[in-house]
Amino acid sequence: MNTLVQYAQAPLRSLYRATPALAMVTDHARSCGVDPADPFHSRVEPMDGCGVVVPVGVHRAVGGLHDAPTPGDMLCAALAACQDSAVRMVANRLGVEIMSLEVRVSAQVDVRGALGMDAEVPVGFQSMACDIDLQVNEGTTPKLREVLESAAQRCCVVQQTLHHPPPVTTRFVVAGTVRA
């Protein structure tokens, strides 16, 4: 019996086996703030051009109002969304019926680094936790639950990116000049 995920992925798996270069995709987002003079608010458009716009605020711990999701909140949301999707897709492929699923992510940061107060304090999150509350059909064997948990962690692109960060390049284009 094919599952929804197997049905959707079968032609893709065949395509990527035949032409691996087609498996390389690029995700993107862009900021699209309304008022460049407002240091505490902006907007982000995931999948630039899709029409979905997410307000962005600045955390009160660094002087903002925290009246909209902060970039840290969105990083946590990205991990929660990706891990949720990974669990659902792997469960579907394995034929495991999910009765309930909730993923909660938290991240801790010492903001003195971002504020430039102490050179010994790193800029960035010092720790993150991903808690997955999962209830599956009671007929699911412990071995199958273990396979589901392991595969869902391995298949979560955001989690694996956080474990093994890629190099990030930043370019500034200022008044027609490019600085790397």
What is the structure's pLDDT at 56? 96
The two three-digit tokens of residue 167, written as one number: 């190099």
Helical residues (DSSP H) of 19-62, grouped into ranges: none
CA distance 2 to 177: 54
Predicted pLDDT at 47? 87
150 vs 86: CA distance, rounded Å: 11
Q: What is the pLDDT of residue 1?
A: 59
**Blockwise average pLDDT, block size 10, the chain, 180 residues:** 88 97 95 91 89 94 96 97 98 96 98 96 97 97 97 97 96 78
Q: Tell me the domain boundaries of the chain.
A: 23-69, 70-166
CA torsion sign, 169 to 172 to 177 to 180? negative
What is the model's pLDDT at position 114? 95
Q: Please state the pTM of the whole predicted model.
A: 0.91
CATH number of 70-166: 3.30.300.20
Written as six digits, the tokens of 180 are 């790397």
One-letter identity of residue 56: V
Number of Cβ atoms within 10 Å of the Cβ of 80: 19
Q: What confidence score (pLDDT) does residue 21 get?
A: 97
Position 178 scores a pLDDT of 67
Q: How many Cβ atoms from other residues are within 10 Å of residue 149's Cβ?
A: 14
